[in-house]
Amino acid sequence: MGTSQEGAEMKEIVRLSVVLAVVGCLAGVALSSVYSLTRQQILLQEQKAIFTAQKALFPEAEEFKPLEIEAQVLGSVWIDRAYEAMNAENQAIGLLVNARTPGYGGMIVFVVGFDLDKQVRGVQVTSQSETPGLGANVTKSSFLDQFVNKSIQDPFVVKNDVKPITASTITTKALVQGLKSSIEWLQSNDRGGTS
């Protein structure tokens, strides 16, 4: 008698295990599909933000030609991509570097543009998760405009030639380090007339 009850319990355990396995597989497939769809959208949004930043820095450019580079880490800064800004005559008018630097609240993703005469054309932050009202001011022109036309030979020192964001020294230093690393990459790769 006990054996048939044990057999029934075993069958129930096997049945429940099969049901759980099927549900787990279906959930995995669903999550994978959602991830694939959202990942595509995230990549499209990132590309759109990069193009918008590039166009803000070089509005006269007709094309942003990707350079074949390998992503590089300089200290804590990731140099992800680089582009040549090309005019209507297909001549390079500048260089853009896409980079990421760790801020206070996460990665600060930015694009920095360089003229051929060793000047910073400007900086555009494309993504950040800094504290609203404080570090998030890293995206504001009142902060970023100070970098326009700075020479790559400038020291880029917070509270010296770089005015910090009020109450956000960590964020300010993070972006400044990102800019310094971008300049270091530019110089070591002999780009933008920096030889």
pLDDT by residue (tens digit) across 115-160?
999 899 999 999 999 999 999 999 999 999 999 999 999 999 999 9
Q: Taking the C-alpha atoms of 172, 176, 177 and 180 in order, what is their torsion angle to the nearest 10 degrees?
A: 180
Average pLDDT value for the chain = 91
CB-based contact 179:156 (threshold 8 Å): yes
Prediction pTM value: 0.79
Residues with Cβ within 8 Å of 194's Cβ and at least 6 positions away in sequence, in order, are 114, 118, 152, 186, 187
Q: Dump pLDDT digits (tens) for 17-54.
A: 888 888 888 888 888 777 777 888 888 898 999 999 99
